[in-house]
Amino acid sequence: MRLRNLPVFRGHALAGLVFLVALLFGPATPARAGDQELKLRAQLIWGTDEAKPKEAAYKDLEPDLRQKLGRIFKWKNYWQISEQRCGFKPGETKKLKMSAKCDLEVRHLDEATIEIKLFGEGKLTRTVRQSIRVLERGELTVLAGDDKDKHDDAWFVVITSTK
């Protein structure tokens, strides 16, 4: 235990060694075909403890996503505000309008990476680069945060691959 916890084993030295060993001896993962279109689904979701407002046209979330979010976050209800589905050829960039205040700019950066830019009220807030392989494994990429006006609520942008 002591040896493992020497400072040298904690930081980038270990990362560097692992990286080197992984590259030399680890299984090589075949690269994704370069011209393949990537199909994505983006959902804007509202998390709240309150009931759905009667006048709102929010959709109920599919049960498995609802349960997944419910196991990680504390809110009782999750409503889908909007949804966009889009295909991206390599190098292609598209803007997705999720709501009056929320936009995404998605770019198929290279054969391994997708870049998602999040805009709130027109301002660029975050850029997230995610592995396409992770998305294609069925994993979810979730950008989320507290509701600025109502701190007890939260918003979620869920990105998934639809293959």
**Which long-range contacts (C-beta less than 8 Å, at least 24 apart) are formed by 29-34?**
29/133, 31/111, 31/112, 32/111, 32/112, 32/132, 32/133, 33/111, 34/90, 34/111
26 is a contact residue toward another protein (CB under 8 A)? yes
Instruction: Report which of 35, 38, 158, 161 is spatially closest to residue 93, judged by C-alpha positions.
Output: 38
Give min distance, CB of 67 to another protein, in A.
9
In this structure, the dihedral spanned by the alpha carbons of residues 152, 126, 53 and 55, taken in order and rounded to 10 degrees, is 160
Nearer to another protein, 2 or 163 (CB): 2
**In the set 85, 89, 95, 126, which binds another protein (CB under 8 A)?**
126
| Residues 47-86, interacting with another protein (CB under 8 A) | 68, 71-74
20 is a contact residue toward another protein (CB under 8 A)? yes
How far apart (Å, rounded) are the C-alpha atoms in residues 112 and 27?
Answer: 17
Segment contacting another protein (CB under 8 A): 24-32, 36-44, 86-94, 100-108? 24-32
Segment contacting another protein (CB under 8 A): 39-47, 54-62, 82-90, 143-151? 143-151
137 is a contact residue toward another protein (CB under 8 A)? yes
**In the set 66, 105, 112, 153, which binds another protein (CB under 8 A)?**
112
Backbone angles phi, psi at 116, to 5 degrees: -120, 120
Nearer to another protein, 56 or 150 (CB): 150
